[in-house]
Amino acid sequence: MKIISVSKNFSPFPAGRTPADGPNSGQRFRDEFLVPSLKVGPVCIILDAEGYGSSFLEEAFGQLIPKGFNEEFLLKNLSFETDDETLVDEIFGYIKDEASR
Amino acid sequence: MPRLACSTFAFGPKLTKVYEGLLNLSQILKHATLAGHPGAYMKKSVLVKGIEIQRRIAHRRWWLRHLETRRKLARRGKGSISTLKRKAGPEKNRKNNAWFDYEAPVVMDFDANKENTLAYFDGLHSSMRERGSRIRLLFQQLRSISSEALIYLLGQIHLLQEKHGKQNLTGCYPKSRKIEHLLNESGFFGLLNIKKRKVAGKKTGSTRFITYKTGNKLQCEDIPKIRNELFGDDFEMPSHVKKEVYRALSEAMANVGEHAYANKAVSAKSLHGRWWIGASMSLRKNIFSLTFYDAGVGIPKTLPRRYNMELIRQALSVLPLIDPDDGAMIHAAVELGRTRTGKENRGKGLLDLHRLIDKINDGKLTIISRQGWYKYRPLRHQSGPMTGFLEGTLISWELPLTKSVNQLIDIEISDLELEDENNISV
């Protein structure tokens, strides 16, 4: 299982949806970290950054569906390490929302 | 000549030095002659008298020459002596450079004195635009200013400086020392390039205001800085509140970049996508507040672009309004984000503004944009129109200190007692 620490491997200040918003966008995190890792196997993400806006979370995780990963696969292969369980529910909520569209 | 050398010596080195830059030796001779002491040993008083006579003669000659020139001009039909006198000199320039004093209202607050506060900013813009004058902001009557009004003021100053030039806007030190402390801390004097001065009296420890932050891109590194600057070593935010504050501010910044300035003609490039953040804390009132401002088109204007009209109507159907005003439009925007019923994956940013209040389960969110306002307390929404106009969008969160921050060091009671005698609100 691959472990990704958002703060250490990506940025302590993740924010925004696309690279137009800023360098630490959800799209960059998805394309550079999540997609390559999920292609190999299960991934554990440590949510240890300063915080996460909904646009970052939706773009990074919800938009994995159009990238070819289905909801079932993501529920099975994505795990999180955080002290805020509502954040995990929110992420899976975005995945479900996107899958139902 | 040897006598002259002696005379210089006779006056002493001090006096010689004084006249060194003014007179040469021949002039000294001339003065002495005028005073009736040709080249003799001159007393100090005689020399001074000679210089005075010389000065008067020179001035008289200059004045006669000056009058003659004016008479000649008058004869040529280029005006009388009196009109020439009036036109001469820097009077005309002085009129153009005059400062127009613009006084602030007694209370600047979007809650307690909304109409007057908005009218003040309206007047400020029209004064600079129509009169073309240089404005000096006065705060002689100001007794109270809210943190939202202060951030809006700083934002508007920034806009006016970009529009009309920095040299055409200045300010004065306010009458109230407490207001001066507040303006000092917020960065008001720095923005107007006014030298800060030491204000007499003790600075209240129970009220803090951080220097405003501004930018035109997603600068999330600023958020922890704001927190640290505001709370210092005395307070600490619990981790979950920290994350929610980060979330709310980062989403507000992202929204500005994406929507706020779309289709807005901005006079200066540096203003495009610009936002301003301020934060304050009052121990007496037991609150800390965060204010976020952008000078974009405003939420009501961006709404139809972000959502399709059907969704807006659906969200508005709960309101007893047929023709939605700006307040109702803000309400709809927040409601659409909140319920997540939209078919698009976007438009959830406003949800994050709510979350901060929901998570703490206390406090207040206020959004003012264009001619509408919206307020949210846990499980309670309010919105409405207003008579004035606010350029862009002003978002403020007011949170209870006791629920959102842990106090690490006891603040002296005396600090609390010293809270503003003028009842400053922050």
pLDDT digits (tens, 9 = 90+) for B263-287: 666 666 777 889 999 999 888 888 8
Which of chain A's residues have a Cβ under 8 Å away from the Cβ of B349? Answer: 53-55
Any CB–CB contact under 8 A between A89 and chain B? no
Optimal mutation site among A10, A48, A52, A55, interface B, most CBs of chain B within 10 A: A55
Residue with structure tokens 């691959």?
Answer: A2
Q: At what angle do helices B147-164 and B114-126 cross, to 10 degrees?
A: 10
Any CB–CB contact under 8 A between B257 and chain A? yes
pLDDT digits 0-9 by tens, B156-190: 999 999 888 888 899 999 988 888 888 988 999 99
Q: At what angle do helices B326-339 and B309-316 cross, to 10 degrees?
A: 100
Distance from CA of A27 to the nearest CA of B (A): 14
Which of chain B's residues have a Cβ under 8 Å away from the Cβ of A62? Answer: 345
pLDDT digits 0-9 by tens, B341-377: 344 556 566 778 888 888 888 899 999 998 899 999 9
Which of chain A's residues have a Cβ under 8 Å away from the Cβ of B251? Answer: 15, 53-55
Report ipTM for this prediction.
0.94
Average pLDDT over residues B247-257: 88
Question: For the stretch B353-392, what's the b/e string if a residue is b when 16 or more beta carbons lie within 10 angstroms of its beta carbon?
Answer: bbbbbbbbeebbbbbbbbbbbbbbeeeebebeebebebbb
CA B214, chain centre distance (Å): 13
Task: Report whether B47 contacts B18 (CB < 8 A).
Answer: no
Question: How large a percentage of chain B has pLDDT more than 90?
Answer: 18
The pLDDT assigned to B347 comes to 59
